[in-house]
Amino acid sequence: MTYTIPSISKKLFIDSRVYILESKYSREQILQVAAKVCPKLSEKTALIIAEETWEQQGDIRDVISLSRLVKKHDGPCEIAEIIKTLAKYGDG
């Protein structure tokens, strides 16, 4: 029996060409790994970061970056605001 892992695509614009990058991780894999790569945060906060990252078509490296910016007491609204700010100003 074969299982296919759903992948996500991320568009990258370089020199007016469009490249489509596909994540090699599924949503479930990102959720599982998030708690392990964010040891200073609660599991609930790590899962919120993973969910928001998945919705923005990010990958596990984005989860790690966000975990460094998020405080222990931050909730879903604060995390979403950080992601929104990074999306607006982060990629240059």
Question: Which of left, alpha, beta for 57 (phi over 0: left; psi -120 to 50: alpha)?
Answer: left
pLDDT score of 8:
42
State pLDDT tens for residues 8-60.
445 444 555 554 556 677 889 899 999 899 988 999 999 999 998 888 888 88
pLDDT score of 90:
73
Return the residue matching tokens 């370089």: 14
Domain ranges of the chain: 25-89
| More confident: 13 or 77 | 77
| More confident: 7 or 35 | 35
Question: 19 — phi, psi (to 5°)?
Answer: -115, 135
pLDDT score of 22:
60
pLDDT score of 12:
46
| More confident: 1 or 18 | 18
